[in-house]
Structure formats: structure tokens, C-alpha cells
Amino acid sequence: MLLTVDVGNTNITFGLFKGEDLKYSFRMMTKQPRTSDEYGVSVMMLLQQLDVKKEEVEGIIIASVVPDLMHSLVGGLERYVGKNPLIVGPGVKTGIKIVTENPREIGADRIVDAVGAYEKYGGPVLVMDFGTATTYDLISASGEFIAGITAPGIRISAKALWQDTAKLPEIEIKKPDSILAQNTVTSMQAGLVYGQIGQTEYMVKKVKEESGLDNLKVVATGGLGSIIADETDCIEVYDRMLTLDGLRLIYEKNCK
């Protein structure tokens, strides 16, 4: 089995693949400080709950946008699972050629999403990730990473509302029944969700307009992406596990 690890700003998402099939996935919070032993023990306990022996884990691959925790995470996985992880970064084969001004600025998570979208759905493709930040990345028909757009994520925008205002409460992020809100909570929900839908549709329109790629496929992922994908026709595919699939594909390119 292959253990894939996506280290995001909010959560660390683990996936266990048997061949091309994602058998299990589980998460832990990123911002809680942990030692290497705590990471190792936590992963081993989760594997035990799934009745998976560490000997069944043949390889590990990690993509991270949080450098500070990598020493502890990698150390814990090496010590407890007994495998040296492949870490997505310079020198790792991805099949994607980055042609932006400074390729090293492109985050590992975005490269992994690009690989997943291009390999699974072909190109040209615009892949959106509705995570801590909302990202829009354009991949050409020949697998070139042409451009990337970064915007505040829905949770960042929501947190700004209730942390930087005196009277607005912390709320659940969901689409209200109507944009014509009648109270504080639904007014915030309407602004956050309908605002994100509007941003998404405009971004897709402008990317198609400026790139000239009318045949562009539009693929979305990320925890809150399903809320947006259900409400707009501009997103063709919502793939919740796109990042984990991208990690699997990169591992296969490098280790088979």
C-alpha cells in the first residue's frame, strides 16, 4: 500500500492506496504542535484502527506547504512506519513543466493538483482548490503550468468577518436558502458563499477570455469546493480526492 500525505495550512490529509484505489483517508489538524513521536504514534494508531499493518505500507509520499513541521512529521514516519518518504519538490518527476516566471514559487500542493487534474482529465485544464486559500491554476494541453491565481479562501474571509468586527458572530459556512438574507447569520453566509460563486464564475470567464482556451476543462477540489461546484455550471468536475490521487501519480512516476 502507498501512504500519501498532503500537509495543508489547516489539515494534514492522509490517504492509503492499494494500487489505484484509495482505500482509506483520514485527517489531523496542522496547527497543533506535535513531536515526531506524536506524529508516529498517531499514524500507527490510525493504521491499527483500519487493520493495516505497517509492513503493508510499501511507500510514503508527502507534499507540504508548512515547512516548520516537516522535520517532526518525516522523523515520525521514518521511525514508526519504517519508510523514507518521497517529498514533492525540486528534482522530483511530475510530468508537468512549470513555465511561470519563478517555478520555485509554485507550492507543492498546486503542482500535485495540476498533476492529478492533467493525468485524470487531460488538458487544457483549470484546476481550482478551495482550501485555506482559493487557487486557480491553468495547465496547457501539453502539460505546461502556465499561470496561477491566488485568492483568500472562504474560511479566511469568514474568520476576517467575525474576528475583525465587534458584533458579527462565528458561523457555519453553508449556502442559505436565499441571497435575500433576513438576519445576521444568513447575511454572512450569503456574502461568503454567493460571493465565492460569483468570484469563481468571473475567474473562469476571464481565464478563458485571456488564454483563448474555449475548450478548457474546469476541475475543482478542496473541502468547501463541493458547496461551490453544486451551485455553478462553470465547474465540470468536483474531485474531492484530487490531491491524494496527484500524490499517487507522482510516486508512480518516480518509484516504479
Torsions phi, psi of 38, nearest 5? -65, -40
Q: Which of 6, 21, 51, 109 is catalytic?
A: 109
Output the CA–CA distances (angstroms, integers) from residue 202 to 29, 114, 168, in the order listed.
Answer: 32, 21, 28
Q: What is 69-119 written as a DSSP string?
A: GHHHHHHHHHHHT--PPEE-STT---S-EE-SS-GGGS-HHHHHHHHHHHH
Residues in the chain: 256
> From CA 160, how far away is CA 153, in angstroms rounded?
11
Q: Is residue 109 flagged as an active site residue?
A: yes
- Cell numbers found for residue 240: 474531492
Can you tell me which residue has the cell 515547512? Answer: 67
Can you tell me which residue has the cell 484546476? Answer: 127
Q: Which residues are catalytic?
A: 109
